[in-house]
Structure 1
Amino acid sequence: MPEHLPFRTLGAAIAAATLILATGGARAEDAGRQEYMYNCSACHGESARGDGPVARYLNVSTPDLTALARKNDGVFPLLHVIQVIDGRSGVGPHGTPMPVWGERFMKDGVEDAGPYAAEVIVRGRILSLAEYLESIQKQE
């Protein structure tokens, strides 16, 4: 039986709802914090200041993610942050070999959700992560 667009849309909605339920109904910021702690803190540190336990072993300096807005005239560069995290667009952080999280998130078992729902889940995870980073910006 051919798959129809309404079923794909329904599948995407179910996948998004599953993601929300998987985070315990948490707000996007809380889901983003969980993503950050699980996927980013090893390099960037729990404080996001670039002092994670793996950072000392890298050949590049790990940036302070709490200073992104300050370094951008006080405006958080949301789209750029999303593109860097996703990595599939070819936009990378200053030529460094940061993991391509868009691909990694896609491989986290969401491929089984189908192409449309999987993309919704991946983009949701990346957006929640970017929103978390926006919430921890320091202006000093």
Structure 2
Amino acid sequence: MQKTILRGVLPVGVLLALLACTNPAMPDRSDGAAFFAENCVSCHGTGGRGDGPLANVVSEAPSDLTTLSQRNGGTFPAAQALSFIYGGPYSDGHLARIMPQFGPVMADDLVPVEIDGILTPTPRELAGLLEFLKSIQE
């Protein structure tokens, strides 16, 4: 029994130790705000409400990002948001998208982020963006 526990815990511990050695500071809301300003404002607007200068140009209206928690029963949907931003499939199975996929260019700089109770290696920029998105929820 003890060996089974150690086998499951050891790889996670090793991963976290390596991440801690190579990534000295965890990204925070301000890091995410900078990423948002550089990559998201044109469609989602400065406040994240989907009212950016290109909102009327794209074929599908950008989401109001301030209501993600509200639309998810009061809980911020971190896994769904990360999957959508990173470029993977998300809960409704819809794969057509206007928004660029950011994941492939960020895979080298990972930090541990708790997603649904599981520490998940996440691109640093997206970890900061998740913190920013959590902070703008109504």
Q: Same fold (TM over 0.5)?
A: yes
Gaps of 5+ in 2: 1-13, 112-121
SS at match of 2:23: helix
Letter paired with 1:32: G
Give TM-score scaled by structure 2 length.
Answer: 0.68
Structure with greater contact order relative to length (CA < 8 Å, sep ≥ 6): 1
**Structure with more of its chain in helix, by fraction:** 1
Letter paired with 1:16: N
* Cα-to-partner distance string for 1:25-71 (whole Å, 9 max, x where unaligned): x9611101111111111110001000111111100011100000111
Query: 1:123 maps to which residue?
Result: 123
SS at match of 1:42: helix
Residues matched between the structures, number: 111
Give TM-score scaled by structure 1 length.
Answer: 0.67
Gaps of 5+ in 1: 1-5, 21-25, 107-117
Cα distance in 2 for partners of 1:68, 1:31 equals 20
Aligned equivalent of 1:16, options 20, 23, 29: 23
Over the matched positions of the two proteins, sequence identity in percent amounts to 31
Displacement of 1:97 after TM fit? 2.5
SS at match of 2:46: coil
Q: After TM superposition, which residue ranges in structure 1, 4 or more long, deviate above 6 angstroms?
A: none
